[in-house]
Homo-oligomer: A and B are copies of this chain.
Amino acid sequence: MKTLSFLRQTVLFWIALAVCQAVSADEGMWLFNDLPRDYLKTKYGFEPTDEWTRHVMLSCVRFNSGGSASFISGTGLVLTNHHVGADTLHKISDARHNYLRDGFHAKTPAEEIKAPDLELNQLVAIEDVTERVGAAVTAEMSAAEAFAARRAVMSKIEKQSLDATGLRSDVVTLYGGARYHLYRYKKYTDVRLVWAPEAAVAAFGGDADNFEYPRYCLDVCLFRVYTDGKPVKIDHFLKLSPKNVVEGELIFMPGNPGSTQRIFTVAALKFQRDRYVPFVLNLLHRQEILYQQYALDGDEQRRQVRRDMLGVQNARKAYSGILHGLQDPACLAHKQAEEAALRAKVQSDPHLKPYADAWKTIEETQARRVKLLGKTASFAAKPYDIAQTLVFMAAEDQKPNSKRLREYRESARASLEQQLFSPAPIHADLERAKLADSLGFFVEQRGGDDPLARKVLDGKSPQARAAELIAGTKLIQIAERRRLAQGGRAAVDASTDPMIELAKLMEPEARRIREIEDELDELERQAYAQITSAVYAIKGTSTYPDATFTLRLAFGQVKGYVENGRIIPPWTTVGGAFEHEKKHGAKEPWKLPRRWNARRGKLNLETPFNFVSTADIIGGNSGSPVINRDAELVGVVFDGNIQSLTGRHYYSDQLARAVSVTSNVIVEALKKIYDAERLVEELAR
């Protein structure tokens, strides 16, 4: 029992660093090279072998567009969420084909559609490079110098690794800056859509049911990875479990959680509470109304803006939940008490005293971040994004690799170019509406008298200026982007494309803001590294780092909960989906696809549809496989319930739950609704 008690202490301490924490044990987004082996063994009697761990790691894939996934066949079939595939579903659609809304099914391999700009990453190795990175930075350096030195050594490590292995190589900053690991990925860029259901069942209940539970969503779709024009042959993939999940069952969710802020100090949380999150929500509300207004213009406009709309609705609901948690005084009070205790300990220990200023540093960076809020030097429209990339690339390419901004380093070039030259359609009307709004926002933030704002508008209203820019730019054509990228500095300097000229006008300000941000990041990195070291010194053990959109292992139990006295069962069924539809009068967004109602009689209505578990996940985990002890696939996570939204800052297993689609309902639907025998057979192999 000693181990457990010791672990409990550690966990409790880390819980305390998070806010408003109930005692809970299934917390954590663990590094694959540092799993909580003792805890899993003690609580669940489960010992992940190296073979198990490696198999799971190699079975996982990351969608660089923002999501997680897994291989589920030896011939490269990839399972993820419909809402992760949505970006591609949208990009391959046009005025006549609305795959995002209507779904897609390649009945033969030849019908599988190539995604225009998808990059999938399969993590193959992790190497600790903390010492190499640390050695580049000395105590005498200013924050700016330290940042430059760190950036240089990271670029060097990545370039060496790329040259040596041919693998995508990213140095990842962990524990807020206390550790640096090199992640090597196998990269797949020929990714084809195989099957997707209708949005009406993938996102059954729409925005209203998003982040709610009970749920009934078939939020999945299938891609296939190709190499050299053929389906990839792979050794590691997840087999579907034939069994239904059971209550209390231990499950794992390997995936790529995007971002958590559990290490944040009280000062940093207050900045989030009072400034950053309200600011983001204002922006999201504004964008949501903008997209709604655009959609009013007609069905095609509605289709064009659908992907942006879904993204902004999801973010709005997520940030609202985050703010609810931050504004709850009880939550912050807990965190405050814990931080005060830790700081007192650090103050009173002569060895730790050097770390005592770390909290003050973060308080100071927050005050500087307040001034930076809204001070963007960019515009939210795709053609501007392209122009800015071209202008920066031309300038960065003049520098040695180690001195470039991270996104322009050599080891990231292939990924950058895939995006830059993407053949995904650009809708001029939509981009004009977005650009006009973004220009207006820029002027609002700086005031209409700001010299740069005046230059940006060039004497016109934001609407007139946006119309002029979109009408005048040639960057919608891929050939022109290639010409400017290949022509480098000279071509960009010579270009009179109005969007390029706008990006050139903005470049100095964009760099000025970037420098401040980088400096603040560096100051915080150093401070959080000190806080982490202080915690190590006091508690003598490690835990999981905040999420970094890299592969982690979460775990937990399939488990219902009690909400306002109402028992919420651990899973829903196919029959429940039809009842849910009926309860809402079968009106949108609660209208199941016609096909579902037509084939209702063929379905096993008892099939579990969605289920909840205590695993600790966050945005980015979407599409993560849910596996059992035998590494069999029992589901795919696609959401958290509303109570889980505070997870950015603290974990709780009282009410917060991850929501997943069961493997069984996927097979049931493929067989009986979508006539996808080809895929069902492939999965059974």
Contact = CB atoms under 8 A, between A and B. Distances in A.
Given A207-B296, A461-B324, A447 B270 contact: yes
Interface in A441-474: 443-444, 447-449, 454, 457, 459-464
B448 A270 contact: yes
Interface in A402-459: 440, 443-444, 447-449, 454, 457, 459
A181 to B, nearest CB: 35
Contacts of A281: 286
Interface string A324-340: 11111110100000000
Interface string A254-294: 00000000000000001001100010011001101100000
A353 to B, nearest CB: 27
Given A282-B285, A282-B286, A285-B285, A327 B462 contact: yes
A685 to B, nearest CB: 43
Contacts of A448: 270, 273-274, 326-327, 329, 332
A329 B444 contact: no
Contacts of A316: 289
A208 interface: yes
Given A273-B448, A440-B323, A447-B270, A459 B285 contact: no
Interface in A200-216: 207-208
Contacts of A327: 440, 443, 448, 457, 461-462
Contacts of A288: 285, 289
A292 to B, nearest CB: 9
B330 A449 contact: no
| Number of copies of this kind of chain in the complex | 2
Contacts of A461: 324-325, 327-329
Contacts of A464: 328
A281, A289, A440, A449 pick with most chain B CB within 10 angstroms:
A289
A206 to B, nearest CB: 8
Contact of A324 (B278, B459, B462): B462
B274 A460 contact: no
A190 to B, nearest CB: 40
Interface string A296-336: 11000000000000000000100000011111111010000
Contacts of A443: 327
A329 B288 CA distance: 27
B289 A328 contact: no
A557 to B, nearest CB: 27
A645 to B, nearest CB: 12
A313 B335 CA distance: 40
A460 B328 CA distance: 6
Contacts of A273: 447-448
A282 B374 CA distance: 14
Nearest to A299: B585
Given A282-B282, A296-B207, A329-B459, A449 B270 contact: yes
Contact of A447 (B274, B286, B323, B325): B274
Interface in A606-625: none
B208 A457 contact: no
A330 B463 CA distance: 13
A383 to B, nearest CB: 21
A285, A332, A443 pick with most chain B CB within 10 angstroms:
A285
Contacts of A208: 296-297
A296, A316, A327, A328 pick with most chain B CB within 10 angstroms:
A327
A287 B281 CA distance: 12
A288 B448 CA distance: 26
Interface in A217-236: none
A414 to B, nearest CB: 39
A270 B289 CA distance: 25
A598 to B, nearest CB: 24
Contacts of A326: 448
A288 B332 CA distance: 30
A3 to B, nearest CB: 37
Nearest to A323: B440
A463 B324 CA distance: 8
A167 to B, nearest CB: 44
A518 to B, nearest CB: 27
A115 to B, nearest CB: 32
Interface string A173-216: 00000000000000000000000000000000001100000000
Lowest 8 CB-CB distances: which A-B pairs, in order? Answer: A328-B461, A285-B285, A208-B296, A274-B447, A278-B444, A282-B282, A285-B289, A285-B286
Given A274-B444, A327-B457, A327-B462, 18 more contacts: A208-B297, A273-B447, A274-B449, A278-B444, A282-B285, A285-B285, A288-B289, A289-B316, A324-B461, A324-B462, A324-B463, A327-B440, A327-B448, A328-B461, A329-B454, A329-B457, A329-B461, A330-B459
15 contacts: A207-B296, A270-B449, A273-B447, A278-B444, A282-B285, A285-B286, A285-B288, A288-B289, A324-B462, A325-B461, A327-B440, A327-B457, A327-B462, A329-B457, A329-B460
Interface of A: 207-208, 270, 273-274, 278, 281-282, 285-286, 288-289, 296-297, 316, 323-330, 332, 440, 443-444, 447-449, 454, 457, 459-464
